Every structure is written in structure tokens, then in C-alpha cells.
Amino acid sequence: MKGKWVEVDKQRMDAVIVAANGHAECRKLRDVKAGDPIVCGHDGIRVTPEFRERDRLGFAFMNNDVSSERRVEGSVARIAKMMREVKKAGGRIAVVAGPVVVHTGGVEHFSDLIRQGFVDVVLAGNALAVHDIEFALSGTSLGIDLAAGAPVEQGHRNHMAAINTINRAGGIRAAVETGILTSGVMYECVKNNVDFVLAGSIRDDGPLPETLMDLITAQERYAAALSGNVQMVLMLSSMLHSIGVGNMLPSWVRVVCVDINPAVVTKLSDRGSAQTVGVVTDVGLFLHRLAEALGS
């Protein structure tokens, strides 16, 4: 602008660029006001993909084809290496996670990652928190005993009991502080000062006190959590929240999508980011291997 290159602030995929007074930033359509000077066309825009850093961080192993017929353990090693490098460089790592993380036995390993300092932000929905807390309080997930792999008698009540317990305590944070909730992903988030945001959805029951049922607020809180130097995002078995997060990311953030359904991985990998790696595998076993790789 006026003969100088200006860096665009608050970059994200689903926005326009508003430029004025030597300053430029991304703005969502609904936040644009009449009279805002919006950039039209591609002239005068320079895209900086930071290919050099990308290579340095080992994203060269990126493979375009999504398939369940791949050896996952090699990918785990490289993802672990990348996470270490991001942390060493002072970057932050966000994890988007669906309730399948709980059902497939990933809680213990996800908790490990948090305790080891590899998770700075958790973005999820009401269901992840409810299932994680049900598991922490009663050992079941939707009434299935995860150790035994079998339904527990009257186990379907554990789900509602978990919601009621947290409501009575006044929320997740309060339940941790008063010693009611003593393990699991949400517990570790509170204990380790991990920034977590729970976005509501039409299928939620409860919801928990921390779940944001006003989605304009939820989108703003997600975007704010991602804006603080998040350089890498792990998307674990949550198409809904992962698409939401994908829309908010600038193109240079490294994204790793993990899902057992190849169609989900393909869909998330196709959303425009040049730096997405898709892994088709069992999320519970993936988290176990990843925690092992980062722990050693």
C-alpha cells in the first residue's frame, strides 16, 4: 500500500481483506460494514506460503492420496517430530477432538499429551466433554464399560448423571477445583491451563455450563483461541468442528486430520490448505502410539 508491502492481520480462509490507513486485515462477511474498503481481485496481493519453513518442519512426507492401506507408525513418528519442533520454536498446538476419542480409548493418551505440554488449545463440542466426564466419573462411555468393552447394567444413566454432577458443581472448572472431577481430558485442560472452547450443536443434551450455545460467540472464541500463534492443528474424529476450525485458519498452519473413515479425511484434506496431512486409522490406537512417541 502506497508502494509498501503490508502484511494482512487475522488471516483466515473464509474472509475478505479490509485495507485502510496502511493496515490490512481479514474480516468475516458478517462483520463487514458499509463503506469498508475491501480488496477485490488478485492484483497487488502476494501469497507467501513459507515453503522453506514447511520443508524444514518435515512436511515433505505429505502424501496427496488418502488411503487406509498405509503404515501409520511412520506417520506417527513424523507427526511427533513436527510437534516437538513447533513447541521448540515457541509455537502453539491446537487439538480438535470428537467423542470418538473417548469411545476408542484415547482419553488416557490424550491426557498424557496434555501433561507433557504438547497441547495448548482444545476445541471441541459438548459431547467430547460429556463422554470424557462420564468416563472419569463412572468408567463408562454412553454406558459401555471401556475396560470390559461391554454395556453396564443401568449404564445409560451414567451419561445423564455426569451432566447433572457438573451442573450441580457449577461447571467443569468448578468440578475440578472442588475435587469432584479428578481425571480425563477436561480435568487435564483445567489443571494444565489449556485453553478449551466447547461449541454447542443441535444434537447436544444438557448442555454443560461451559458449552457455548450461542454460535456467534462460539465462533469468535474458537477464532480467538487459534489466533495466538497456533502453528499446528490436530483434527481427531470430528468432521463438524474440524470444518469449523479449517475455515478459520490461515493457510500456513500445519493440519493433521485423523479419522477411520477415508471419506472424512479426504473431505477435510480438500478444504484448501496446502499443508494438510490425512491419516486413516483408529484414533484410540493412534493417540496411544503418539503419546509413546512423544514420551520417549
As measured in angstroms, the least distance from the Cβ of 261 to a copy of itself is: 7
Q: Which of 133, 236, 289, 291 binds a copy of itself (CB under 8 A)?
A: 289
CA distance 107 to 101: 7
Binding track over 149-188 against a copy of itself, x by CB under 8 A: xx---------x--xx------------------------
As measured in angstroms, the least distance from the Cβ of 33 to a copy of itself is: 13
Q: By the 8 A CB rule, do 141 and 131 touch?
A: yes
As measured in angstroms, the least distance from the Cβ of 103 to a copy of itself is: 4
Three-class DSSP category at 62: coil
Binding positions for a copy of itself, 230-249, rule CB under 8 A: 240-241, 243-244, 247
Q: 174 vs 192, which CB is nearer to a copy of itself? A: 174
Q: Which three cell numbers stand for residue 156?
A: 445409560
Binding track over 48-77 against a copy of itself, x by CB under 8 A: -------------x-x-xxxxxxxxxxx--
Element (DSSP H or E) covering residue 149: none
Residues in the chain: 296
- Which own/partner pairs from 72-81 qualify as long-range (CB within 8 Å, at least 24 positions apart)? 72/279, 72/281, 72/286, 72/289, 73/289, 75/277, 75/279, 76/286, 76/289, 76/290, 76/293, 77/293, 79/234, 79/256, 79/277, 79/279, 79/290, 79/293, 80/290, 80/293, 80/294
CA distance 240 to 242: 6
Binding positions for a copy of itself, 102-121, rule CB under 8 A: 103-105
Q: Which three cell numbers stand for residue 225?
A: 483461541
Q: 191 vs 271, which CB is nearer to a copy of itself? A: 271
| Interacting span for a copy of itself (CB under 8 A) from 2-10, 19-27, 208-216, 224-232 | 208-216
Q: Which of 148, 170, 228, 229 binds a copy of itself (CB under 8 A)?
A: 148
Three-class DSSP category at 234: strand
For a copy of itself, the binding residues (CB under 8 A) are: 14, 28-30, 61, 63, 65-75, 78, 100, 103-105, 125, 144, 146-150, 160, 163-164, 199-207, 213-216, 218-219, 222, 240-241, 243-244, 247, 260-263, 266-267, 270, 280-282, 284-286, 288-289
